[in-house]
Chains A and B, each alone.
Chain A
């Protein structure tokens, strides 16, 4: 007796259809799974029989062989529990084979026959839709997720009985609450709540408009974290495509918690004790996306940058360059998308009070040197904006005007981004931050005044070649925010103000 259904295994972030065949033949009662099953799939052997019997269905007391095809693809995850169970039920004709055809089954089962919430459902639905299949049968808790994918009939099931009932035509799933509600931003944080710090607020706007990474250097209590948390609120809304990508990553990480599509740009703030695998993704059997991927299309915030493990920080270069992370383990390698805006924060020196007008710094020069060395390096090269965040005095706070709300700033950001997209339509990039250095100088359209100011900056501020490119790109973004075709002197001046003490080594003024 033979049965065949379709399941999906999720490797990394992608779903791969798997044909699950069951053969029930003569021999001592046993269940064998062939076709490169991973450890979690092997576990299914002992889970499925009690689950089926608990659902008051019959488990054949004969030799059962389940094969997972294609045989060269490694299969991971408990999501194959359900298709394996159904394939046996089809083979024993407890459900009609015709009804099972054209459906994708996915979900972990318990010994009681419940279908449990399983990570990666949205990836399953995307794979099913791409394959042109009719419908997906997924855990009820994840049905909302699957419903985000167009052109699929989604059936959410809570138990194996539900599955069987559905296939026999005796049970209907509850109507899914219409989930495609365009939920407005929840408005948990808003830029208008930041008092003072006009310069920093403006820098956030520039970062958002040009896709620039941002480093904030300032004493403890200056408000670095508060500012960073508000960057997602001024970024453009996620497009549907971006939202699907981000949702997939959160789904496979099991972090979606019953939500459908991510509506807000993610904000991830891993603690500095995070391991390299935690930051970039990894794991021994099932490869999980790391914090950098969970921040995909959003903001990755690294507070206390100098406290992070050096190797973890170095490894961030790959996603910053390519927007992807390739994780390789003995079992194979997977690639996770990771295109995020990096916001890093650090104290200006080990004690935190260098440059503070009211508290004196207690660090020895060699301690400061070592600290600065920690902050330098290849990661810093990818950070266009480096900002000093001062701790405000009482007078400065009292004199501060109320800031603009996020929505107003966001409108300017969107307009600036549109301008960049149009300009770079031929270059396959979307924002100024992605401009390669030599092209930046050509594309920026510097006015003569801007050229002169840049020339003087090279001479007097010891601007390196890369530093020069960064200033040009940031100045281009400032001009885009102003709606100007050309970069003027004042745009360059603003870009030059986004530097920190770290770049002014030995800061000796030169007369003249």
Chain B
């Protein structure tokens, strides 16, 4: 086995009937890491020889051999067919060629939904599973803006920023790619089941893991390298200091992609990753317009359909809400009667400029986008 594992895969890898089956079996092993499988392929030269070496105890674990002893390619293929999933080896249409630029490319991936378009422009939007309301709104807006500009949004399958970005893009009629941290037939987290169905209908679901593999936190970092590889740039919305979001950004840097980050308050734990990335040289963006401009798509800037014509009272209240405030505090600050203040606040809430959080009102991202400075 050579010390330095070359990039990509040997010529003709994974092609031919015997090879395809061997590759599928290899990819269904839960034990070896993607890096170990990649090295094993280069060490043996082909999928069938790699499989033979594992069977001969030259690699892998006893668990792998126990699995192989009972494994049946036909059963696995039927299982994939049942959920409308397919297996893609390097060179197949659903195998993104950019995966081969990774130091540890997947030996194959599972896909559901539409085919991965090779001419597609793709940008990843990633962030925390527990974002702030503002972070969620930004992610929705980014997904929407990218969709209108004809760009496919790439993200994970988690709740929070991932889900918000997908939803924004899908609501605007766009297409998205979700890279799952579980098997292609496992809907995790359960609350995203409906979202996965929508993505399957107008985009693609991708997973590196065998059918039935449960979602385990240790798989998410490896999953994140595929998110980066699929994209021409990565946008980081919110993320804690040591987070999967940070890992995705690091993969993007390794691959030489553009990294964009949305700043947040220096006191917010969720701003640590974006602020750190900006300090390290990532591009600071204030929202969708900045992103599209930096991607060279400003001609197609999405204008969100912002309503005009706020009344004088509404302007006053909106300008007053620099922080989150109680309705009575707003009334005191503006001098409006409480009943009128409530009418104005509810009116602004209905137009999406402010939101109620735990009894107080605060501005939404939509307000920040439209509020003239000064």
Residues of A with Cβ closer than 8 Å to B?
Answer: 198-200, 217-219, 348, 354-357, 360-361, 364-366, 369, 387-390, 392, 396, 399, 453, 456-457, 460-461, 489-490, 493-494, 496-497, 499, 501, 504, 507-512
Residue of A219, A369, A387, A496 ringed by the most chain B CB atoms within 10 A: A496
Residue of B136, B189, B326, B352 ringed by the most chain A CB atoms within 10 A: B326
Inter-chain contact B359/A388, CB cutoff 8 Å: yes
Inter-chain contact B343/A511, CB cutoff 8 Å: no
Complex Cα–Cα for A509 and B369 (A): 13
Inter-chain contact B360/A357, CB cutoff 8 Å: yes
Complex Cα–Cα for A417 and B289 (A): 54
Mind listing 19 A-B residue pairs with CB under 8 Å?
A348-B358, A355-B358, A366-B189, A387-B359, A390-B326, A390-B358, A453-B347, A453-B350, A460-B351, A461-B350, A490-B343, A494-B339, A497-B346, A501-B356, A501-B357, A508-B136, A508-B137, A511-B366, A512-B307
Least CB separation from B340: chain A residue: A490
Inter-chain contact B329/A453, CB cutoff 8 Å: no
Inter-chain contact B191/A366, CB cutoff 8 Å: yes
Least CB separation from A353: chain B residue: B358
Complex Cα–Cα for A512 and B351 (A): 6
Least CB separation from A368: chain B residue: B130
- In the assembled complex, how far is the CB of residue A390 from the closest CB belonging to chain B, in whole angstroms? 4
Choose from B137, B304, B327, B352 the contact partner of A497 (Cβ within 8 Å): B327
Complex Cα–Cα for A217 and B356 (A): 13
Choose from B304, B339, B350 the contact partner of A511 (Cβ within 8 Å): B304
In the complex, chain A residues whose CB is within 8 Å of the CB of B340:
490
Inter-chain contact A218/B358, CB cutoff 8 Å: yes
Inter-chain contact B356/A493, CB cutoff 8 Å: no
In the complex, chain A residues whose CB is within 8 Å of the CB of B261:
none
Least CB separation from B192: chain A residue: A365
Choose from A348, A365, A494, A511 the contact partner of B191 (Cβ within 8 Å): A365
What 12 additional pairs, Cβ within 8 angstroms, besides A364-B130, A388-B359?
A: A219-B358, A357-B324, A361-B130, A369-B191, A389-B359, A490-B339, A497-B342, A497-B346, A501-B358, A508-B167, A509-B137, A512-B305
In the complex, chain B residues whose CB is within 8 Å of the CB of A499:
356
- Mask: chain B, 327-361; 1 = CB below 8 Å from A; 0 = not: 11100100000111011011101111001111110
In the complex, chain A residues whose CB is within 8 Å of the CB of B160:
365
Least CB separation from B302: chain A residue: A511
- In the assembled complex, how far is the CB of residue A392 from the closest CB belonging to chain B, in whole angstroms? 8
In the complex, chain B residues whose CB is within 8 Å of the CB of A389:
359
Least CB separation from B130: chain A residue: A365
The reply to whether the CB of B159 lies closer than 8 angstroms to some CB of chain A is yes
Q: Known contacts A390-B326, A509-B364: does B359 contact A496 (CB below 8 Å)?
A: no
The reply to whether the CB of B83 lies closer than 8 angstroms to some CB of chain A is no
The reply to whether the CB of B232 lies closer than 8 angstroms to some CB of chain A is no
Least CB separation from B304: chain A residue: A511
Interface residues of A, dominant DSSP: mixed
Inter-chain contact B342/A511, CB cutoff 8 Å: no
The reply to whether the CB of B306 lies closer than 8 angstroms to some CB of chain A is yes
- In the assembled complex, how far is the CB of residue B341 from the closest CB belonging to chain A, in whole angstroms? 9
Inter-chain contact A365/B129, CB cutoff 8 Å: yes
In the complex, chain A residues whose CB is within 8 Å of the CB of B364:
509
Complex Cα–Cα for A510 and B360 (A): 20
Inter-chain contact A494/B329, CB cutoff 8 Å: no
In the complex, chain B residues whose CB is within 8 Å of the CB of A356:
358
Inter-chain contact B306/A511, CB cutoff 8 Å: yes
- In the assembled complex, how far is the CB of residue B189 from the closest CB belonging to chain A, in whole angstroms? 6
Complex Cα–Cα for A222 and B191 (A): 31
Inter-chain contact B350/A199, CB cutoff 8 Å: no
Complex Cα–Cα for A507 and B352 (A): 10
Complex Cα–Cα for A55 and B191 (A): 75
Q: Known contacts A493-B346, A509-B364, A512-B307: does B352 contact A460 (CB below 8 Å)?
A: yes
Inter-chain contact B327/A199, CB cutoff 8 Å: yes
Q: Known contacts A199-B328, A508-B136, A512-B307: does B159 contact A390 (CB below 8 Å)?
A: no
Inter-chain contact A493/B327, CB cutoff 8 Å: no
Inter-chain contact A509/B352, CB cutoff 8 Å: yes
The reply to whether the CB of B230 lies closer than 8 angstroms to some CB of chain A is no
Interface residues of B in 268-306 (CB under 8 A from A): 269, 304-306
- In the assembled complex, how far is the CB of residue B338 from the closest CB belonging to chain A, in whole angstroms? 8
In the complex, chain B residues whose CB is within 8 Å of the CB of A198:
326, 328, 338
- In the assembled complex, how far is the CB of residue B222 from the closest CB belonging to chain A, in whole angstroms? 22
In the complex, chain A residues whose CB is within 8 Å of the CB of B327:
199, 497
In the complex, chain B residues whose CB is within 8 Å of the CB of A364:
130
- In the assembled complex, how far is the CB of residue B328 from the closest CB belonging to chain A, in whole angstroms? 4
Report the count of interface residues on B (CB-CB < 8 A).
Answer: 44
The reply to whether the CB of B39 lies closer than 8 angstroms to some CB of chain A is no
Inter-chain contact B359/A396, CB cutoff 8 Å: no
Residue of B190, B350, B359 ringed by the most chain A CB atoms within 10 A: B359
Inter-chain contact B356/A497, CB cutoff 8 Å: yes
Inter-chain contact B189/A365, CB cutoff 8 Å: yes
The reply to whether the CB of B24 lies closer than 8 angstroms to some CB of chain A is no
The reply to whether the CB of B115 lies closer than 8 angstroms to some CB of chain A is no
Inter-chain contact A493/B329, CB cutoff 8 Å: no
Inter-chain contact B342/A490, CB cutoff 8 Å: yes
Inter-chain contact A493/B343, CB cutoff 8 Å: yes
In the complex, chain A residues whose CB is within 8 Å of the CB of B358:
217-219, 348, 354-357, 388, 390, 501
The reply to whether the CB of B140 lies closer than 8 angstroms to some CB of chain A is yes
The reply to whether the CB of B133 lies closer than 8 angstroms to some CB of chain A is yes
Complex Cα–Cα for A460 and B164 (A): 18
Complex Cα–Cα for A499 and B350 (A): 13
In the complex, chain B residues whose CB is within 8 Å of the CB of A355:
357-359
Interface residues of B in 116-134 (CB under 8 A from A): 129-130, 133
- In the assembled complex, how far is the CB of residue A175 from the closest CB belonging to chain B, in whole angstroms? 55
- In the assembled complex, how far is the CB of residue B169 from the closest CB belonging to chain A, in whole angstroms? 13
Complex Cα–Cα for A165 and B137 (A): 85
Least CB separation from A512: chain B residue: B305
- In the assembled complex, how far is the CB of residue B84 from the closest CB belonging to chain A, in whole angstroms? 27
Complex Cα–Cα for A356 and B359 (A): 10
Complex Cα–Cα for A219 and B338 (A): 24
- In the assembled complex, how far is the CB of residue B305 from the closest CB belonging to chain A, in whole angstroms? 5
In the complex, chain A residues whose CB is within 8 Å of the CB of B329:
396, 399
- In the assembled complex, how far is the CB of residue B264 from the closest CB belonging to chain A, in whole angstroms? 13
Closest 9 CB pairs of A and B: A355-B358, A509-B352, A390-B359, A388-B359, A493-B343, A493-B346, A198-B328, A490-B343, A490-B339
In the complex, chain B residues whose CB is within 8 Å of the CB of A357:
324, 358, 360
- In the assembled complex, how far is the CB of residue A452 from the closest CB belonging to chain B, in whole angstroms? 11
Complex Cα–Cα for A512 and B189 (A): 31
In the complex, chain A residues whose CB is within 8 Å of the CB of B191:
365-366, 369
Inter-chain contact A507/B140, CB cutoff 8 Å: no
- In the assembled complex, how far is the CB of residue A476 from the closest CB belonging to chain B, in whole angstroms? 15
Least CB separation from A360: chain B residue: B269
Residue of A456, A489, A509 ringed by the most chain B CB atoms within 10 A: A509
Inter-chain contact A507/B133, CB cutoff 8 Å: yes
Complex Cα–Cα for A463 and B8 (A): 54
In the complex, chain B residues whose CB is within 8 Å of the CB of A504:
356
In the complex, chain B residues whose CB is within 8 Å of the CB of A510:
352
Inter-chain contact A199/B343, CB cutoff 8 Å: no
- In the assembled complex, how far is the CB of residue A361 from the closest CB belonging to chain B, in whole angstroms? 8
In the complex, chain A residues whose CB is within 8 Å of the CB of B324:
357
In the complex, chain A residues whose CB is within 8 Å of the CB of B305:
511-512
Least CB separation from B323: chain A residue: A357
- In the assembled complex, how far is the CB of residue A509 from the closest CB belonging to chain B, in whole angstroms? 4
In the complex, chain A residues whose CB is within 8 Å of the CB of B269:
360
In the complex, chain B residues whose CB is within 8 Å of the CB of A456:
350
In the complex, chain A residues whose CB is within 8 Å of the CB of B304:
511
- Mask: chain B, 171-191; 1 = CB below 8 Å from A; 0 = not: 000000000000000000111
Complex Cα–Cα for A360 and B352 (A): 24
In the complex, chain A residues whose CB is within 8 Å of the CB of B130:
361, 364-365
Inter-chain contact A508/B355, CB cutoff 8 Å: no
